[in-house]
Amino acid sequence: MPSLKRSASPRLTRLTARASPYNTSVTLFEAQDTASIPKISDSPRRSKRVKLEAEEPKFTIKEEENRNPTPTEPEASGSGSSTPKKRAAKSPRKPKPIQQSLAVPHPAPENWQETYATIKRMRSQIVAPVDTMGCDQAQYKEAEPKNRRFATLISLMLSSQTKDEVTDAAVSKLRSAIGGSLTVDALINAEDVVIGEAIGKVGFWRRKTEYIKKTAQRLRDDFDSDVPKTVDELCSLPGVGPKMAFLALQVAWNLNVGIGVDVHVHRITNRLGWHKPPTKNPEETRLNLQSWLPIELHPDINHMLVGFGQVMCLPVGPRCDLCDLSANGLCPSAQKVTKTKSRKAVTLTAVKYENDSPPKIEIALEPEETKPILSDFTLQKIEPT
């Protein structure tokens, strides 16, 4: 009878039982080599104690690359596939065209001509920050036409959610930091740190640093280092929206293709009741205004209302008591200002007399301070030349 000890040989053995030919009550066991046993895969019943390890298929270098595709290629659907299908490259998404008009024009507001003329008259007597530090002022420090247009675009990009005073200072500092002139090549070659330090006072300066660098690269690669002449091309630049595009075309190219609507224009026209129902964002305001405002007034309304909003129709605490629209009943949002009596300050002074007499208290009223009509700006009447 063969030994039942496990053999050290890597070959596997199996015990088979058979009845003894000498005595039927005796069962004999024999060790049988697995080579003579049918393969497990051929057996109808698979043992749970036997683990099958599929042999790893061998691949060529090319097939191995296909098994580990790049992010742009999908993995092979089957282990036997040596030439997986490549995913078709997606074409760059085309920017959505900027809407130019409404399907149904907004009706013209009542008495808008009188309101417009009143604001224009008041603006002729006001010097606002936009008049001296607006985006149109950046071009005057450049000599070349291309640089003038580029400086206008950069000023517009930096002006988003930033006061004109801060934007004007940032443009001047940036011009000095990159060599004395705002050119496409100078901005591309400038380090991000240099640009960031120059424009660090404007809102979202880190994001704007990235935007103006990418915009300069696009202008050099696609537009011959010049500002595009269409709204859709301008809006395809990083960080450029419809308001900037329309203003850039008006200032840089003298093209009147739409109204640049910012927060001032959006706020004031809604206060005047020119939108029914009120608009929710500047784009809705722009489409409404363009549908009924005469086209010859499109280039002027932004500059006029921005200065009016900076000095008179403030976001918080508008100066309705000084506004002619309130006095003439042309503004439905005018606030009534109640004048309170000013309190006069009282000064108590202890005066000690000679001859050891007790001190006496003298009471005096301080003179009232004369406050200017406008705290930040003054109304100036501009005489015609």
Whether 127 and 231 share a structural domain: yes
CATH code for position 308: 1.10.340.30
Distance between CA atoms of 72 and 94, rounded to whole angstroms?
A: 20
Q: Is residue 53 part of a domain?
A: no
Whether 256 and 164 share a structural domain: yes
Segment 278-328, tens digit of pLDDT: 999 999 999 999 999 999 999 999 999 999 999 999 999 999 999 999 999
Whether 136 and 4 share a structural domain: no
Distance between CA atoms of 25 and 56, rounded to whole angstroms?
A: 49
Q: How many domains does the chain have?
A: 2
Whether 9 and 120 share a structural domain: no
Segment 121-169, tens digit of pLDDT: 999 999 999 999 999 999 999 999 999 999 999 999 999 999 999 999 9
Whether 34 and 141 share a structural domain: no
Token pair 């002449």 is found at 229
Residue 7 has pLDDT above 80, yes or no: no
Q: Is residue 294 part of a domain?
A: yes
Q: Provide the residue range defining the domain that includes 232.
A: 112-327
Cβ atoms of 171 and 198 within 8 Å: the answer is no
To the nearest 10 degrees (0 to 180), the angle between helices 242-252 and 145-158 is: 150
Going by C-alpha positions, the residue among 297, 269, 313 that lies closest to residue 123 is 313
Whether 315 and 192 share a structural domain: yes
Going by C-alpha positions, the residue among 138, 102, 135, 132 that lies closest to residue 275 is 102
Instruction: Point out the catalytic residue in the list 214, 229, 243, 341.
Output: 243
Whether 117 and 27 share a structural domain: no
Given 275, 304, 327, the domain boundary residue is: 327
Which whole-number Å values give the CA distances from 224 to 54, 95, 184, 218, in the listed order? 61, 21, 10, 9
Predicted pLDDT at 28: 73
Segment 179-235, tens digit of pLDDT: 999 999 999 999 999 999 999 999 999 999 999 999 999 999 999 999 999 999 999
Q: Is residue 163 part of a domain?
A: yes
pLDDT band at 21 (very low <50, low <70, confident <90, very high): confident
The answer to whether 86 is a known catalytic residue is: no
Q: Is residue 344 part of a domain?
A: no
- State how far Cα 246 lies from the chain centre: 18
Given 327, 353, 369, the domain boundary residue is: 327
Question: Angle CA(193)–CA(194)–CA(199) in degrees, nearest 5?
Answer: 95
Whether 242 and 117 share a structural domain: yes
Whether 124 and 1 share a structural domain: no
Going by C-alpha positions, the residue among 267, 266, 247 that lies closest to residue 257 is 247
Task: Provide the 3-class DSSP secondary structure of residue 309.
Answer: helix
Task: Provide the 3-class DSSP secondary structure of residue 242.
Answer: helix
Q: Is residue 126 part of a domain?
A: yes
pLDDT band at 346 (very low <50, low <70, confident <90, very high): low
Residue 39 has pLDDT above 60, yes or no: no
Distance between CA atoms of 285 and 364, rounded to whole angstroms?
A: 56
pLDDT band at 170 (very low <50, low <70, confident <90, very high): very high
Q: Is residue 68 part of a domain?
A: no
Predicted pLDDT at 27: 76
Q: Is residue 134 part of a domain?
A: yes
Please state which of the ranges 28-32, 237-241, 264-268 shows the lowest mean pLDDT: 28-32
Predicted pLDDT at 338: 62
Segment 73-120, tens digit of pLDDT: 444 444 444 455 555 555 556 667 889 899 999 999 999 999 999 999
Whether 261 and 158 share a structural domain: yes
pLDDT band at 37 (very low <50, low <70, confident <90, very high): low
Segment 323-342, tens digit of pLDDT: 999 999 999 999 876 655 55
Whether 167 and 273 share a structural domain: yes
Whether 167 and 287 share a structural domain: yes
Given 327, 346, 362, the domain boundary residue is: 327
Burial zone of 168 (CB within 10 Å; 0-12 exposed, 13-18 middle, 19+ buried): buried
Which whole-number Å values give the CA distances from 165 to 133, 137, 169, 307, in the listed order? 6, 12, 6, 13
Q: Is residue 377 part of a domain?
A: no
